[in-house]
Amino acid sequence: MRNNRQSKNEKIPLQKTAAKKIKRHPVDHGTKPQSSDAILADLKHRLAEIYDLNAAGSVLAWDEATYMPNGGAVARGRQIAMLRRLAHERFTDPKLGRLLDRLDLCSDNLPADDASLIRVVRRDYEKAIRIPAEYVARANAHGSASYNAWRRARPANDFATVIPFLEKTLDLSREYASFFAPYDHIADPMIDDADEGLTATTVQRVFTELRRELAPMVRAISEQPAADDACLYRSFDETAQIGFGLSVAAQMGYDLERGRLDKTRHPFCTKFAAGDVRITTRVRENDIRDALFSTLHETGHAMYEQGVNAAYEGTPLGSGVSSGVHESQSRLWENVVARSRPFWEHYYPALQRTFADQLGSVPLDTFYRAINKVERSLIRTDADELTYNLHIMLRFDLELKLLEGRLRVTDLPEAWRAGMEADLGITPPDDREGCLQDVHWYSGNIGGGFQSYAIGNILSAQFFAAATKAHPEISSEIANGQFGTLHGWLTDNIYEPGRTLTPHEIVARATGSPMTMAPYLAYLRKKYGELYRLPLS
């Protein structure tokens, strides 16, 4: 994932919900008139300091997750919180609002990038100033307490203990939404934070269609003989696993002069500057999938951030445009590319050489089927490409019901079991493998945290289809371990603009259409139709 937990604390909210509610600040008549150049320079200077404060906080969080000794934890939490607070104070400074007001008066004459900057900063600023500082402090304190309670409760299968925490999180999430009232759906402000332009209604419409299409595919596959994936669970040397993944990442286009890979409990991608975008991975000795696909997933996020125009560094333009578009890149590289047959036609011999004892006698076809085995399983993060979406949609539905008041926290375990039964046909034996499995609700808001994963899947196929339409040679290049054409197209169309365009504009400009599910469904039907010899298409 894209450092979901961290990003909640690390970023100023990214988009505003209600553009119509912009309030003008009283003009500060005490200051001298300035040219728009001077005002812009002042604005950029302030933004750069905010960017650097957030970057410093991210370095401290990266260190906390990678190398920090246990004894550093208490001070580190305090130090990160201070940097976030200083950044937030500076960003919500009314002086910054007055600079934006002045710039609005002369924005017709500005270069396009500066106009984009003002639009994005305005959006972020109007969102940030609606959130009281005391709420931020209260929500952060509760987030830490809740996370700690969850860390103890999950291994103990003790849902009862987290109920009061989750109820307070729900209250805080509703309070958060209230800062952006009126809204059509109470989840809309949180969804808009992650995926500008999407709402509960639009996501529900998309998910209804996706579920309708996926359910029969999963059913049909489950009636086939299961793929034999025993080869994935042998003993694989940790250093060799990391080395192989990193070598592939570098060949895909992850620039290690401007990045690096370290080990953590939960994989993430983090950015300190255009020249320093890092990823982390996790290794399981007895599961070759984990380090490899985590690394390539985070590589997708990292190549996106490395590809943003470096001229935007130090401003809100200099990052990925939304969670959904970000996930589209991690999923594109992890799944569409690195779980494809052409990819392994090139890389499997090298993998066999690296792990000769374990894979030397395993045919490519067996390995390819193993890494694409569809299985109705309980844990989201272990799920295959196809059923993964069902896990996401279950969580999204439950989030909406909790926020709407149609589901009580105490009834969550039962609702989870019922949902798993309905969507996947299996029932978790306990809450550890049910509603206690994901950190999201226990460390941040309820709402807005899950839809991006499925949106990312949909967009990954849409982008890949557009890239291969423009460059039909991409598939055969992948079969030769060459990624330059694909990486170049993605850079030009998605990475380079950063936040100068909206998510919708990015999708439309790159693919010629708004977000659409057709390419994703076609991709799934073709891939799994061939894998399981089904008449899916």
Judged by CB under 8 A, the chain residues 357 through 416 that form the site for a second copy are none
Binding a second copy (rule: CB under 8 A), the pick from 257, 357, 360, 535 is 257
Range in contact with a second copy (rule: CB under 8 A) among 250-258, 330-338, 414-422, 506-514: 250-258
Kindly state whether residue 78 participates in binding a second copy, applying the rule CB under 8 A: yes
Binding a second copy by CB under 8 A: which of 99, 166, 198, 274?
274
Q: Which is nearer to a second copy, 10 or 385 (CB)?
A: 10
Q: Which of 527, 515, 531 is nearest to 466 (CA)?
A: 515
**CA of 491: how far to CAs of 330, 465, 494, 497, in Å?**
14, 15, 6, 8
Figure out which of the listed residues 98, 168, 258, 417 binds a second copy, where binding follows CB under 8 A. 258
Q: Which of 126, 298, 313, 385 is catalytic?
A: 298
For a second copy, the binding residue among 313, 385, 399, 438 (CB under 8 A) is 313
HEC string for 125-187:
HHHHCCCCHHHHHHHHHHHHHHHHHHHHHCCCCCHHHHHHHHHHHHHHHHHHHHCCCCCCCCC
State the DSSP H helix or E strand holding residue 280, giving kind and residue range, or none if neither.
strand 276-281
Q: Name the amino acid, one letter, at 352.
A: Q
Binding segment (CB under 8 A) for a second copy, from list 144-152, 258-266, 324-332, 509-517: 258-266
Q: Does 243 bind a second copy (CB under 8 A)?
A: no
For the CB of residue 490, give the shortest distance to a second copy in the complex, in Å: 20
Q: Using CB under 8 A, which of 26, 32, 35, 70 touches a second copy?
A: 70
Give the range of 76-84, 134-142, 152-160, 411-419 binding a second copy by CB under 8 A.
76-84
The CA-based diameter of the chain, rounded to the nearest angstrom, is 79
> Across the strands, what pairs with 277?
271
376: left (phi over 0), alpha (psi -120 to 50) or beta: beta
Using CB under 8 A, count the residues that bind a second copy: 38
Given the rule CB under 8 A, which of 30-38, 105-113, 253-261, 487-495 is the region that contacts a second copy? 253-261
Which residue stretch of 92-100, 274-282, 372-380, 391-399 sits at the interface with a second copy (rule: CB under 8 A)?
274-282
Q: Judged by CB under 8 A, does residue 22 bind a second copy?
A: no
Q: Tell me: does residue 82 bind a second copy (CB under 8 A).
A: yes
| 42, 52, 113, 433: which one binds a second copy (CB under 8 A) | 52
Q: What's the token pair of residue 411?
A: 């009834």
Residue 75 binds a second copy (CB under 8 A): yes
CA–CA dist 502, 13 (Å, integer): 15
| 303 is a contact residue toward a second copy (CB under 8 A) | no
Tokens of 149: 């309670």
Stretch that binds a second copy, among 53-61, 220-228, 465-473, 488-496 (CB under 8 A): 53-61
Number of alpha helices (DSSP H) and beta strands (DSSP E) in the chain: 23, 3
CB burial of residue 489 (10 Å; 0-12, 13-18, 19+): buried
In the numeric block, the tokens 């002045």 are attached to: 102
Residue 458 · residue 213 · CB < 8 Å: no
Does 518 help bind a second copy (rule: CB under 8 A)? no
Q: Is 262 in the site for a second copy (CB under 8 A)?
A: yes
Please choose, from the candidates 225, 224, 159, 182, the residue with its C-alpha nearest in 3D space to the C-alpha of residue 415. 159
**Taking CB under 8 A as the rule, does residue 63 contact a second copy?**
yes
Q: Does position 250 bind a second copy by CB under 8 A? A: no
Residue 260 found at the interface with a second copy (CB under 8 A): yes
Is position 399 annotated as part of the catalytic site?
Answer: no
Q: Is 270 helix (H, G, I), strand (E, B) or coil?
A: strand
- The minimum distance between CB 77 and a second copy, in angstroms, equals 10
Verify binding: residue 275, a second copy, rule CB under 8 A: yes
Q: Does residue number 240 form part of the binding site for a second copy (CB under 8 A)?
A: no
Rounded to the nearest whole angstrom, what is the least distance from the CB of residue 169 to a second copy in the complex? Answer: 27
Report, in Å, the least distance between residue 51 CB and a second copy. Answer: 9
| Dihedral sign computed on CA atoms, order 71, 133, 320, 511 | positive
SS3 45: helix
Name the CA dihedral angle for 502, 508, 513, 514, rounded to a multiple of 10 degrees. Answer: -10
Indicate which single residue of 36, 42, 44, 79 sits in contact with a second copy (rule: CB under 8 A). 79
Residue type present at position 498:
G
Contact with a second copy (CB under 8 A) among 53, 214, 269, 296: 53
- Does position 259 interact with a second copy (CB under 8 A)? The reply is yes
Is 43 in contact with 99 (CB distance < 8 Å)? yes
- For a second copy, which is the closer residue by CB, 52 or 433? 52
Quick check: 239 binds a second copy (CB under 8 A)? no
AA letter at 365:
D
Q: Provide the minimum distance between the beta carbon of 304 and a second copy in the complex, in angstroms, as a whole number.
A: 16
- Could you say whether residue 45 binds a second copy (CB under 8 A)? no
Give 527's DSSP letter: H
276 is an interface residue for a second copy by CB under 8 A: yes
Cα of 528 vs its chain's centroid, Å: 25
Q: Which two tokens stand for residue 267?
A: 């994989």
The CA-atom distances, in angstroms, between 297 and each of 275, 293, 456 are 20, 6, 12
**Residue 255 within binding range of a second copy, rule CB under 8 A:** yes
Distance between CA atoms of 143 and 463, rounded to whole angstroms? 35
- Single out the residue of 529, 232, 478 nearest to residue 344, CA to CA: 478
Radius of gyration of the chain (CA): 23
Region from 70-78, 216-224, 358-366, 434-442 binding a second copy, contact rule CB under 8 A: 70-78
Tokens for 152, please give them.
Answer: 């103890």
Q: Which C-beta is closer to a second copy: that of 192 or that of 276?
A: 276
In contact, 84 and 10? CB cutoff 8 Å: yes
Among 272, 346, 373, 485, binds a second copy (CB under 8 A): 272
Catalytic residue numbers, as ranges? 298
Binding site for a second copy (CB under 8 A): 49, 52-53, 55-57, 59-60, 63, 67-76, 78-79, 82-83, 86, 255-260, 262, 272-276, 278, 313
